[in-house]
Amino acid sequence: MTMGGKKKLTLKQAERMQSRKDEEEKEKKRKEKSAAPSKERKASGIVPPNPKSEKIIGELKKMSVLTPYAVATRFNIRISAAKDFLEQLEEEGIIQLVSGSHNIKIYKAFD
């Protein structure tokens, strides 16, 4: 059984502990700053664009490859809505399925 208080740190150990605390504080500040802009972001829409619109079809024809992610970012909609939108366009014969699996489907627009 030992008696006595806590052992005093060497200068090197004290410097390391102080630098770690400083880094942790910087990380916290960085996280707080990065968290603030995310609240200002506009939520993606759920309603897909009108598939009969000539403007929308023109935009799709400009894109070389149509994936749910590409369509979602172009029209600012959710990926699930983009998947449904692409399936609807395929049924109407506006786009064609090139390749796909259960994860992702790749389409191209008819010229």
pLDDT digits (tens, 9 = 90+) for 25-75: 999 888 877 765 555 566 666 777 777 788 888 888 888 889 999 999 988
The set of residues, in sequence order, having a beta carbon less than 8 Å from that of 45 and lying 6+ positions away, is: 75, 76, 77, 78, 81
Is the pLDDT at 3 greater than 80, yes or no?
A: no
Phi, psi values for residue 108, rounded to 5°: -140, 150
For the question of whether the overall pTM of this predicted structure is more than 0.85, the answer is no
Cβ atoms within 10 Å, residue 72: 21
Strand residues in 1-111 grouped as ranges (E): 95-100, 105-109
